[in-house]
Amino acid sequence: MRPRALVLLVAALLLGAAAPAAAQYPIFDAHIHYSRPDWDAYTPERALSILARAGVRRAIVSSTPDDGTLKLYEKSPQGIVPFLRPYRTREDMGGWPRDLSVAAYVEERLKRGVYRGIGEFHLDAADVDAPVVRRLAELAAERGIFMWAHVDETTIEKLLQRYPAVRFLWAHAGMSTGGAAVGRLLDRFPTLWVELALRTDVASGGALAPEWRAVFLRHPARFMVGTDTWITSRWEVVRDYHLEVQKWLGELPREVAEQIAWKNGERLFPAP
């Protein structure tokens, strides 16, 4: 084996093993994509190496098309937690809730038996009861898997009320919803979990925001961190992003920080 190939292999194997010594906490990253443009820029081995160097021991991955997720999963089944995105192409993003061929596609792909959730998907409140959303919720409930929703506060509340048998992962904590409002939803809905990708307001100015600290202390078992490699260039900031996450995790009691950093992800999605 060539030296460079050996280095990449070792780095990839680190995904799912202990985090680098420089990291205070190992990371379960709850928001990674490896979509078609990423394949051209990074081999699966290189992508896994980037995650490992950032201290990411395991990661939730969804992709457009789904083949990207499977590429990473095949290389690291212990480290990758596959979610099935309902987008066959980016053109599906707008009309998928009422496109019955999407439901058939998801149902067929789920037969692989490797997926731990459906999503990440985007949805408006008006489509919460659309036929494809209803069918995907049925599939999620039947299989005991998550639905991962990139939606606003109003829409996640409607989803939780409409589909009480489904566990939801809320992408970006709603993107703009404040910590106090997130906490109130967690108080009300035991089937809601939250990931914090791109939420720089958690520690804007370098210090953990008091409202977020309060909700983390109240619901330490309901949060995960994430990066969101929604465009290819985001792969180059994974390590720096998690260095910033480590800073605000360090302001929390250790037992709380450990849950948010990696233990919640490990508990919800145990390695196969």
CATH code at 117? 3.20.20.140
Q: Tell me the one-letter amino acid at 25.
A: Y
Cross-strand partners of 225: 29
- pLDDT for the residue numbered 16: 46
Residues 6+ apart with CB under 8 A from 107: 135, 139
- pLDDT for the residue numbered 205: 82
Query: Does residue 229 sit within a domain?
Result: yes
- The parent domain of residue 232 ranges over 23-268
Tokens of 66: 């789904």
Backbone phi and psi for residue 96, each to the nearest 5 degrees, phi listed first: -60, -35
Please give the chain's pLDDT, 272 residues, in tens.
444 443 344 344 445 444 443 348 999 999 999 999 999 899 999 999 999 999 999 999 999 999 999 999 999 999 999 999 999 999 999 899 999 999 999 999 999 999 999 999 999 999 999 999 999 999 999 999 999 999 999 999 999 999 999 999 999 999 999 999 999 999 999 999 999 999 999 998 889 999 999 999 999 999 999 999 999 999 999 999 999 999 999 999 999 999 999 999 999 999 98
**Residue whose C-alpha is closest to residue 120's, from 183, 172, 47:** 172
Backbone phi and psi for residue 192, each to the nearest 5 degrees, phi listed first: -110, 130
Q: What is the pTM of this model?
A: 0.91
Query: Does residue 6 sit within a domain?
Result: no
Domain count, the chain: 1
- pLDDT for the residue numbered 12: 45
**Residue whose C-alpha is closest to residue 51's, from 227, 200, 197:** 227
The Cα 208–Cα 212 span in angstroms is 7
Angle at 144 between CA 141 and CA 145, to 5 degrees: 95
Query: Does residue 67 sit within a domain?
Result: yes
Query: Does residue 10 sit within a domain?
Result: no
- pLDDT for the residue numbered 24: 87
Residue 193 contacts residue 167 (beta carbons within 8 Å): yes
Query: Does residue 16 sit within a domain?
Result: no
Residue 166 contacts residue 189 (beta carbons within 8 Å): no
Backbone phi and psi for residue 14, each to the nearest 5 degrees, phi listed first: -65, -25
Query: Does residue 215 sit within a domain?
Result: yes
Structural element, H or E, at residue 182:
helix 179-188
- pLDDT for the residue numbered 97: 97
Query: Does residue 158 sit within a domain?
Result: yes
Q: Which long-range contacts (CB under 8 A, 24 or more apart) does 160-164 make?
A: 160/185, 160/189, 160/191, 160/192, 162/128, 162/129, 162/137, 163/137, 164/191
Cross-strand partners of 29: 59, 225
Query: Does residue 179 sit within a domain?
Result: yes
